[in-house]
């Protein structure tokens, strides 16, 4: 399975009601600026201590951050931990704002 997913494909999954975890690994102050409804906040630094308690390794996980760098790092780590269906949203919330939902502020 590819490590990345396009924001448009994430939107299609949400619209279709597909079951997956949208994992936002940005910091709380970033969430105050822009967010995607339904996303679970787990700042990147908290992922190692929280992932095994709060995430299902069998469920698809889409990881997002600001531009896609942190989310890719988290995705690689999650895959190494057995979360084989984790993928990083290409371009992060910045790409989401520009290509999917212009009501989400760009920062």
* Given the residues 5, 34, 62, 65, the one annotated as active site: 65
**Do residues 78 and 71 lie in contact, with contact meaning Cβ atoms separated by under 8 Å?**
no
Q: At which residue do the structure tokens 């920062």 appear?
A: 107
Q: For this structure, is 65 an active site residue?
A: yes
**Do residues 86 and 79 lie in contact, with contact meaning Cβ atoms separated by under 8 Å?**
yes
**Do residues 14 and 6 lie in contact, with contact meaning Cβ atoms separated by under 8 Å?**
no
Please give the Cα distance from 106 to 19 (Å, whole number).
Answer: 27
Q: List the catalytic residues.
A: 65
């Amino acid at each position: 399975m590819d490590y990345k997913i396009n924001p448009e494909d994430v939107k299609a999954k949400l619209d279709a009601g597909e079951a997956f975890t949208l994992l936002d690994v940005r910091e709380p102050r970033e969430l105050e600026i822009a967010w995607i409804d339904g996303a679970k906040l787990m700042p990147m630094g908290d992922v190692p201590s929280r992932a095994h308690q709060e995430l299902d390794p069998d469920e698809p996980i889409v990881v997002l951050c600001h531009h896609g760098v942190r989310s890719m790092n988290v995705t690689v780590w999650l895959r190494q931990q057995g979360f084989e269906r984790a993928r990083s949203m290409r371009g992060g919330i910045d790409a989401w704002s520009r290509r999917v939902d212009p009501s989400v502020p760009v920062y």
